[in-house]
Chain A
Amino acid sequence: MADQAASAPGVAAAQVDGAAPASNLQENSYDVEVQLSDLQKDRENPLGSAATFQELGLSVPPPNEVLEGLTALKFLKPSKVQEKALPLMLADPPRNMIAQSQSGTGKTAAFVTTVLSRVDYSQASTPQALLLAPSRELARQIQGVITTIGQFIPNLGVSAAIPGSIARGGSVDKSIVVGTPGTVMDLIRRRQFDTSALRVLVIDEADNMLDQQGLGDQCARVKGMLPKNIQILLFSATFPEKVLKYATSFAPSANIIKLKVQELTVKGISQMYMDCPGEADKYEILCKLYGLMNIGSSIIFVKTRESATQIQQSMVRDGHKVSVLHGAYEGSERDALLDDFRTGKSKVLITTNVLARGIDVSTVSMVINYDIPMKGAGEATHDTETYLHRIGRTGRFGRVGVSITFISDKKSFTALHAIAKDLQIDLVALSPDDWDETEKQVQKVIKSSRAQANFVPSATSGGQE
């Protein structure tokens, strides 16, 4: 370094500033191409992709508008599931599709893009595509995505078929319909919804929709009232084996995109648990968590409505703007609460399992399982799927997210242990004793899982191995 400094003044500067050569001549010869393995890694990432949207066959009929809409939404390149599924879904003649991909990897955009490309906009008042979701929030969210991606399409119309949205005498007169199965079924029965020209049926959160007693029946009935040659697209982040079997008969001879168990969790989400001395300490510990890292918005999942209200009170005292959303609220009230959260008017959302699935608020950087998810009679067994969907509310589209699950007794500890075993993951333990230490640990975990995000294997057709 010393002799270099003597040789030329420019070198001295470079050395002062860092270990780099100074003259531009050297710089050129010194430039190293970004390693192929890095680019490759990008490709293996569920969000990385070699292709562009143009290459995925989107440049046929209406698509320029769709493409422009995707760009406006800042979708720069297709994600893995989009790259794989779009060409299959857009191919003619249309074929059914069952697609699984991790939470927050662009499933909604994939099927919305397909729907938008299948509709004939010259017949704007004839329903041509039907999308079903398990909750009104999710249906409205999908409706929002359709209008955003389709913002440049003239004559685009989307109807929401959710409770209270279509008057008794009215009829469904838009080309795309998004709804919950119950309402859609009623509308068809009352002849307010003409299904004769429908060509695409999308079922989001399909495992949940087909599996649950009520929803499953409704979906099957709705399907029975639709044209026989309709293209069926089933999407979810989870597809338990037995549901998948049913799904293949629901959507016969479908293309299938499936994940391996180890691929289920998004590696960008740091999963931790907090060892609370007792149930009563949880409140105070909860508030402390917000100082450990920079948090955009957060969602807290609780078991009962009562504890939701209690937590809300203590958090408001601590300066947080909090929304509480659970089944006790009426439809429009729920819409307003969720909108507040979406737009950043409130940054903490306390909710029950109502919102475990599908809701996409991109700023959510922390999910807290205040109560661990359980299922079955007497809440006896751990619920891995719900856990997965809950933590999937963060780490959307490659962002970094944190999930912290509270345990306070033997039962919750055992349940969490079982979930970790199901997913083949290790959870990081946090302790509320020394916050300086805990902070250090959290920062370390976030850093390392950011690095890990690189190594997520891809979604592969049919699943490998």
Chain B
Amino acid sequence: MTGSSPVTRRSRQWSSPSRPRISDFLAENRHTELSYQDALAAAQAEHGRVRDAAIRVFKDHELKEECRRLQEQEAAIRQQQRREEERIRNEERVRAEEERLRALKSKIVPKLPPEPAPAPTPTPAPAPPASSTSVSQLNGAGPLNSGTTIISASQQGSIAAGSKPSSLSISQQPPSNAPAVSINGTKVAEPAPTQPFQQGQHVTPTKPPPFGTPAATSSNFLSKALQPSAPTTTSQTPQPPADKYVIIHQNLKKLRASLVEQAKSLPLLKARMGDMRRELRKTLGQMVTEKGGNRKQVGAIQALLQESLNGSIPSQLVDPSQYVVDQRQPMEGALHNGAQLPSLFLYLLNIFAKSIINQFINECGAQPKAADPLGVIAAQIFSNKAYLWRGKSLVDILMAKYRVACPVLFGYRGNESTEQGRIRLGWKRDGTGWAPEQQHIEKMKGLAVGYAAIALRDFSKSPNTNPWPPSKYWASLARIVNTPPAEISNTQCVVLRGMIEIYEERFIQFYGSAAIAALHSALVEFPNKALTKTPGTAGLPVLAHILKRNIGLDL
């Protein structure tokens, strides 16, 4: 505006006097009507021009203002959107948590009652018998990492809910178990030292996981375990046998030795046992990834187990309760309700479990996809009604082996630069030293993917009960993810990645958005919070990257 009008004026004002126009302006006829009209018209034009300019500038300004307003509005909306999104995400997370909580509550509810019940009882009770104390220690040692593992036990615990009988039945057990363990304990040493450490060291840092109840349970459980200063009382409960697996593992070793002994006096058993074992091993090695390609193998395995059950081959009868974590009473409709089963049958189940674990170790570290048919057959055999005892699965035979081979899945942790830490992590010794790192890692990868293959099976269309349901997978994942940052080990990262990769979609199928939150926690937060960065921690975000690229899952 200011720039426009003066221009003309200036040009008139400053126009050089030598020009004829100036004389024109001083001329006689300057007062003529014509010149006035001229001047008037000029003034009018000038006025119009100035006005137009003003209006234009005003409009410009207005437009600019409008623009700014729109932008501001947009920003505000965006922010609102973001806030909304955040809220939704939060709500989703909360919902997911609630979902988990609810799902688990239904399982936990039966568990809690037995727990407080025994606790008060023994405290006032004068001096519990010495033997029961030592047993309870045995159980008490594990509670820490027990988190959810115990859930299954808790279900069974509810059977023995009458606290007295339960504690009784336990104290009956020790004579058979406890001494045995102490003998083996020293010999084996492997998983054993874990417990006390776990208890002592990790109590404080255990935090409830951001998602999922396992934590809630465990923290609950923990606080209970901790507050009564005498741990004896708490451990009186039958629940926390996370490490009963170690005992079962020992018992299975004894079972195998016993079969070898039996074979010496039973020629029929000797003739068949080795062939059955090799047949089982061969059959599991034949499993292929192609769907429906393993029918013959499944048939062969079932035929072997059937043969061992029908009594055509003589073998001692043994008490199966040595090979399960819970106490079992006869159950209506169950095929095998007696107090004993042929030892050959349990032996074959043990060989089956061992072979599956070995197959995971040898094959699946290199080819994770090979785990799936093995997971299928494991779930199939351990859920088969013909092979249940008192109506429940004998899957603990497999899990005992798992607990020893891959403790990380059961919540154990350790420092890889210390001897004890390595033992706790299931790092194998061979010969004079430790197995090479590459071998250890490979083994853990295979076991991790195998675990997913067993636990993430869909039984919704099966008439049988899932022997190792997805909640176990969740619990194992949570136990790793909730490791305090300073204690995160490379082994854990490897296991974590192993159990997620190629099973992420199945996991999401089971748990929906809760699974996505869990994956975020495992693949993004977990490696970030680790204090020491290892190749394993680097591998987790790469998996997140791969998931984003391959299935569009943005964590």
Contacts and interface: CB of A to CB of B under 8 A. Distances in A.
Contacts of B246: 17
Q: Which of the listed residues A1, A13, A34, A435 has the most CB atoms from chain B within 10 Å of its own CB?
A: A13
Contact of B288 (A1, A347, A452): A347
A60 interface: no
A208 interface: no
A15 B436 contact: no
Given A13-B195, A17-B193, A33-B419, A42 B366 contact: no
Q: Which of the listed residues A1, A294, A397 has the most CB atoms from chain B within 10 Å of its own CB?
A: A294
Nearest to A366: B285
A397 B178 CA distance: 42
20 contacts: A5-B134, A14-B141, A15-B182, A18-B193, A21-B196, A24-B197, A30-B420, A33-B417, A48-B438, A72-B545, A77-B535, A290-B286, A292-B281, A294-B359, A321-B290, A321-B293, A343-B289, A400-B362, A450-B439, A454-B433
Nearest to A5: B134
B366 A396 contact: yes
A296 B133 contact: no
B309 interface: no
B138 A296 contact: no
Interface of A: 1, 5, 9-10, 12-24, 27, 30-35, 37-38, 41-42, 45, 47-48, 52, 68, 71-72, 74, 76-77, 152, 288, 290-297, 319-321, 343-347, 362-363, 365, 396-400, 435-436, 439, 447-448, 450-454
A24 B281 contact: no
Contacts of B178: 16
A13 B431 contact: no
Nearest to B357: A294
Given A17-B196, A398-B436, A436-B274, A295 B285 contact: yes
B437 A296 contact: no
A45 B438 CA distance: 10
Given A42-B436, A76-B539, A399-B362, A16 B182 contact: yes
B363 A363 contact: yes
Given A30-B420, A32-B418, A296-B285, A17 B243 contact: yes
Contacts of B286: 290, 319-321, 347
B186 interface: yes
A10 B231 contact: yes
B188 A18 contact: yes
Interface residues of B, number: 86
Contacts of A18: 185-186, 188-193
B416 to A, nearest CB: 7
Given A30-B420, A296-B363, 13 more contacts: A9-B230, A10-B196, A13-B196, A17-B193, A19-B186, A27-B197, A33-B417, A34-B418, A48-B438, A291-B277, A296-B366, A343-B289, A398-B442
A294 B285 contact: yes
Contact of B137 (A13, A448, A451, A452): A13
Contact of B363 (A14, A37, A365, A451): A365
Nearest to B186: A19
Nearest to A15: B182
A141 B271 CA distance: 46
Contact of B420 (A20, A365, A450): A20
A396 B367 CA distance: 12
Contacts of B365: 399
Contact of A343 (B197, B199, B285, B369): B369
Nearest to A398: B438
Given A13-B195, A21-B196, A344 B189 contact: no
A34 B416 contact: yes
Q: Which of the listed residues B194, B415, B435 has the most CB atoms from chain A within 10 Å of its own CB?
A: B435
A293 B231 CA distance: 45
Nearest to A455: B431
A176 to B, nearest CB: 21
Nearest to B354: A294
A19 B185 contact: yes
B288 A68 contact: no
B500 interface: no
B196 A27 contact: yes
B296 interface: yes
A409 B230 CA distance: 73
A447 B431 CA distance: 9
